Structure 1
Amino acid sequence: MDHRDTGPDRHLRAGTAAAGPYTLDIDPGRAGWGYSALRVLELAPGASHLLEAGDSEWIVLPLAGGCSVHTEGTTMELLGRENVFAGVTDFAYVPRDARALIASGAGGRFALAGARCERRLPARRGPVSEVPVEDRGSGTCARRVHNFAAAGTFDCDRLIAVEVLTPGGNWSSYPPHKHDEHRPGEEAELEEIYYFEIDGEHGFGYQRISPSRPGGTDLLAEVRSGDAVLVPDGWHGPSIAAPGHGMYYLNVMAGPGPEREWRICFHPDHTEGYR
């Protein structure tokens, strides 16, 4: 099979999508779609950054370190975590049309997950104690999911975001699935970003997207820490972690549907015998 990337810049290698203060900056215009966005912000000790929300809602998610988020007249202190493999973290929600000052005394790295939206919801903190943790799959397909902003767990207008931790040698995002059509009750149309971090200096993984329609996205990418993959359409999965190197990915999703929901369709050729 000819594994080729037929879309523009579907695999963004670490550092290639940097802009201004961001080591990664994916907006809907760059992605070629309408809603999903992701930025990764690195702050030196004592530094701060002003986030202009514009027409999007945002979640400030610590990847390494803690910070404070001051917006809408309130300050949310985020304790954060040592790194993405150290467990769940608290986070802050910033509404559209707001300005938020993000400051970190000790410095750190922070994901800003965003989605263009219509409703303006209140700014608020998502505490660690309210983050649902799900163990999904079994055997070599076992992985752990942090459903911090999944549909039904935290109120957003359009944004859906979760974290997935895959042990070294395991497959996740499996069976391959898609969400590129609006089919009420069966499938929701969602644009998706995968952002990766790999445990270990020389670790890597693989991400597969196969076409769900003629001329659709076709990608097999070797991913390393700081890489991102854009999924505008297609069957995506598996996400494969190299033996000895745990894989983390942050999924950011949003779409045009009338409801904020995560409805997916599994690839019919890969579900038989799946555990």
Structure 2
Amino acid sequence: MTNSLHLPAGSADADGAHDPDGFRLVITPRDAGWSYSSLRVLELAAGESAEFTTGDSECVVLPLAGSCRVTVDGRTFELAGRTDVFARVTDFAYAPRDAEVTVHSAEGGRFALPAARCERRLEPAYGPAEKVLVETRGAGNATRQVNNFASPEGFGCDRLVAVEVLTPDGNWSSYPPHKHDELNEGEAVLEEIYYFELGSTGGSGSGSNTGSVGDRIGYQRVYADGVDLLEEVRHGDAVLVPRGYHGPSMAAPGYPMYYLNVLAGPRPERTMACRDDPAHHWVRASWEGMPTDPRVPLCDAEGPR
């Protein structure tokens, strides 16, 4: 039985309804049963465009595969994008709330639109790939890469927080398990979405097309009182985290894992503050003096490393 927190690839919304406008995945606050965070994944064939309004949410247009032209209230941004999420760190465009947006892709592509309900209306903006803060976290087989394109330190949104995490095959990330569902010292209340894409090491490069994309696997854990998810995730799946500890995110041998984290919450300060599961917090200290995985970073703005 499919867990209600797990949305398989191709789910247009939480009810599985078909969306006619090219959105392969649609998660609204209403779908998720919360108040702020949302995500859409747009697929365009060569020469296609999509038009939409942002309404009460700010959003980022983030190329997952392909390039596009983004027009926000008459201002146009050319996004070079990338061939896949493992190929390079990408540029992006920011659209404020109450904006008219058109996304056009000459050659076709797939584009994520992480979003959050917000109050302030900021200016449309372009985010260059070269200015995205690339961070290495963890050590040993818990080493992973974080692209902080819309982290609190990375880009000035109003309420939206979004980052990309690239985990080499065989490694764990989102570890130790952590949560952000209570307002405490060092912890914020945040609604979070994980969106997954998976590569393959069976060919040249982490994003190799070796084998069927649908056969690539990873695993995601979410747990709390009344929440118990350990799900096999595949390319294009999403997992909702309304509360509880989440992690690890496990990249199976042979299949490097990408996930996009989308977070927002009730407090106006943008933060990713979280609290580790006390049973596993000690793991952080074990990384001291341990080398990081030499495969990380997997890529930067110039391409694969």
**Same fold flag (TM > 0.5):** yes
Structure 2 SS opposite 1:121: coil
- Take 1:74 and 1:236, find their aligned partners in 2: how far apart are those partners? 39
2:260 maps to amino acid: L
- Take 1:152 and 1:272, find their aligned partners in 2: how far apart are those partners? 27
Structure 1 SS opposite 2:123: coil
- Take 2:69 and 2:52, find their aligned partners in 1: how far apart are those partners? 13
- Take 1:246 and 1:73, find their aligned partners in 2: how far apart are those partners? 38
Structure 2 SS opposite 1:270: coil
Runs of 4+ in 1 over 6 A off after TM superposition: none
Contact 2:176 2:283 in 1 (8 A): no
The runs of 5 or more residues in structure 1 that have no matched partner are none
| Range with greater deviation from structure 2 (164-173 or 255-264) | 255-264
**Equivalence map 1:5-16=2 (5 Å):** 5=3, 9-16=4-11
Cα deviation 1:59-102 (Å, max 9, x = unaligned): 00000000011112210000000100112000000010000110
**2:216 alignment partner in structure 1:** 203
Report whether the alignment pairs 1:186 with 2:196: no
- Take 2:273 and 2:43, find their aligned partners in 1: how far apart are those partners? 33
Contact 2:159 2:268 in 1 (8 A): no
Contact 2:11 2:26 in 1 (8 A): no
- Take 1:270 and 1:40, find their aligned partners in 2: how far apart are those partners? 34
Post-superposition offset of 1:189: 0.5
Cα deviation 1:196-231 (Å, max 9, x = unaligned): 0011332200000110xx33x211100000100000
Post-superposition offset of 1:273: 3.7
**Equivalence map 1:127-146=2 (5 Å):** 127-146=128-147
**Equivalence map 1:166-181=2 (5 Å):** 166-181=167-182
Q: Give the root-mean-square deviation of aligned CA atoms.
A: 1.2
Report the identity percentage.
Answer: 59
Cα deviation 1:207-266 (Å, max 9, x = unaligned): 00110xx33x21110000010000000000000011011000000000101311111101
- Take 2:72 and 2:268, find their aligned partners in 1: how far apart are those partners? 28
**Paired residues, what number?**
265
**1:228 alignment partner in structure 2:** 238
The runs of 5 or more residues in structure 2 that have no matched partner are 13-17, 201-211, 288-305
**2:251 alignment partner in structure 1:** 241
**2:107 alignment partner in structure 1:** 106
Structure 2 SS opposite 1:129: helix
| Range with greater deviation from structure 2 (201-210 or 155-164) | 201-210
Structure 2 SS opposite 1:83: coil
**2:97 alignment partner in structure 1:** 96
- Take 2:272 and 2:110, find their aligned partners in 1: how far apart are those partners? 28
- Take 1:19 and 1:31, find their aligned partners in 2: how far apart are those partners? 17
Structure 1 SS opposite 2:181: coil
Cα deviation 1:130-175 (Å, max 9, x = unaligned): 1000011111101101000001210011100000000111100000
**Equivalence map 1:60-99=2 (5 Å):** 60-99=61-100
- Take 2:246 and 2:269, find their aligned partners in 1: how far apart are those partners? 22
Structure 1 SS opposite 2:130: helix
- Take 2:251 and 2:75, find their aligned partners in 1: how far apart are those partners? 40
**1:49 alignment partner in structure 2:** 50
- Take 1:122 and 1:16, find their aligned partners in 2: how far apart are those partners? 32
- Take 2:191 and 2:73, find their aligned partners in 1: how far apart are those partners? 29
1:204 maps to amino acid: I
**2:60 alignment partner in structure 1:** 59
Post-superposition offset of 1:121: 0.4
Contact 1:165 1:246 in 2 (8 A): yes
Contact 1:63 1:110 in 2 (8 A): yes
**1:24 alignment partner in structure 2:** 25
Report whether the alignment pairs 1:272 with 2:282: yes
1:240 maps to amino acid: M
Contact 1:36 1:191 in 2 (8 A): yes
